[in-house]
Amino acid sequence: MAAMRIEIWADVVCAWAYIGKRRLEKALAGWDGPPVEVAWRPFRIDPTAPPRATPLEELYRDPMVDDALRACAPHLTPAQNRVRVSAVAAAEGLGPRWGAAWRADSGDAHRLIALAGETGGAPLQDAVAERVLKAHWIDAADIGDPAVLAAVARDAGFAEGPALLATGAGRALVAERLLTGKARGVRTSPTLVAHGRALAGAQAPEAVRGFLADAAAHPPRPVPAEVERLRLAESLLTARDPLGALTLLRPLLDEHGGDRGVRLLAARAYYASAQLNRARATLERLVADHPDDSYARHLLGRTLHRQNDAGAARHLTLAAAMTPALG
């Protein structure tokens, strides 16, 4: 029986990610369903963190930061919320010391976790994720420091990890996975995804077990990887991220550049990102190959109009004649 993949979309600098990991482990300890495979996926709760870590104590003294943190738990002060989270962590067996000391950029930690998965599969990835979380939340280490991540990798049995990080490996992989999470609607760290279903937040083990049972009982119909990628790219375009859509489309353009749907979606993304010359070239070829495609002709007309090209009117008029709703 094929294993059901459980994806944990989380940021290692999110306390609930570590708590959620423990709760998932407790849920799986009593799991009697199909075999599962846990995969870590990146999420960023603080994408503007500086490249060099800064002490969190300094940050907490900033009144603007204090106001922003109140959004996490409106009924508590940020200090009270930290005490609450510490108590929850202790109840999950995390500690005895608990609490981050650094505002660290988690980008390299995400790369290390992703590379561990690519190199050694789920067991190695889980070992690295566990040690990254421990370094940040229990050891109060700076996980933005290459030396700290090197020690984490070695302790997890990922000896080649530091050298891979030093080469910049994993950047494109993490960037693409962040876009994939955005396209799938992941908005919270942690979020569990299994069989296309999502459970947001660090839920209790009983809730996690129920979620997994429901997911296992409703396996999705298999979808070709190329179709899934196309759908994700379209979701990003709908979410007004045309550059992200183009990033996900790149492999499809390389391998299926003649596909009508791929070309049209790329043209829409070029147009939405103001890459008008690329949009025009793509649409002109589409219209030449499919002169009855009223939408492609309409978008070509709009592109030419933005370029102040007199040829716009002819395409807009023909598109409206073929499909009046485009008029």
State pLDDT tens for residues 167-212: 999 999 999 999 999 999 999 999 999 999 999 999 999 999 999 9
Examine the pLDDT at 95 and tell me if it is beyond 80.
yes
DSSP H helical segments within 138-258, as ranges? 146-156, 161-166, 171-183, 205-217, 225-238, 242-255
Task: Please indicate whether residue 60 or residue 19 has the higher confidence score (pLDDT).
Answer: 19
Q: What whole-number percentage of the chain has pLDDT above 70?
A: 95
Whether 46 has a pLDDT exceeding 70, the answer reads: yes
3-state secondary structure of 112: helix
Which class for 60: exposed (0-12), middle (13-18), buried (19 or more C-beta within 10 A)? middle
Comparing 48 with 177, which gets the higher pLDDT? Answer: 177
Residue 193's region, left for phi above 0, alpha for psi from -120 to 50, else beta, is: beta
The answer to which of 9-18, 78-87, 110-119, 198-207 has the lowest mean pLDDT is: 78-87
Q: Which of 29-33, 265-269, 282-286, 292-296 has the lowest mean pLDDT?
A: 29-33
Is residue 36 pLDDT above 90, yes or no?
yes
Q: What is the pLDDT of residues 230-258, one digit of tens each?
A: 999 999 999 999 999 999 999 999 999 99
4-217, CATH topology level: Glutaredoxin (3.40.30)
- CB atoms closer than 10 angstroms to residue 6: 22
Q: What percent of the chain has pLDDT over 90?
A: 88
User: Each residue of 59-90: pLDDT tens digit?
Assistant: 777 666 655 555 566 677 777 888 899 999 99
Cα(264)–Cα(286) distance, integer angstroms: 8
Q: For residue 15, which amino acid is it?
A: A
CATH architecture assigned to 225-326:
Alpha Horseshoe (1.25)
Q: How much is the pTM?
A: 0.92
* pLDDT for residue 133: 98
Q: Which pLDDT score is estimated for 291?
A: 95
In this prediction, residues 309-319 reach a mean pLDDT of 96
- Backbone dihedral angles phi then psi of residue 5, each to the nearest 5 degrees: -85, 130
Closest CA to 194 of 175, 209, 172: 209
CA angle (174 as vertex; 37, 194 as ends), nearest 5: 30
Domain ranges for the chain: 4-217, 225-326
Spatial contact of 195 and 219, defined as CB atoms under 8 Å apart: yes
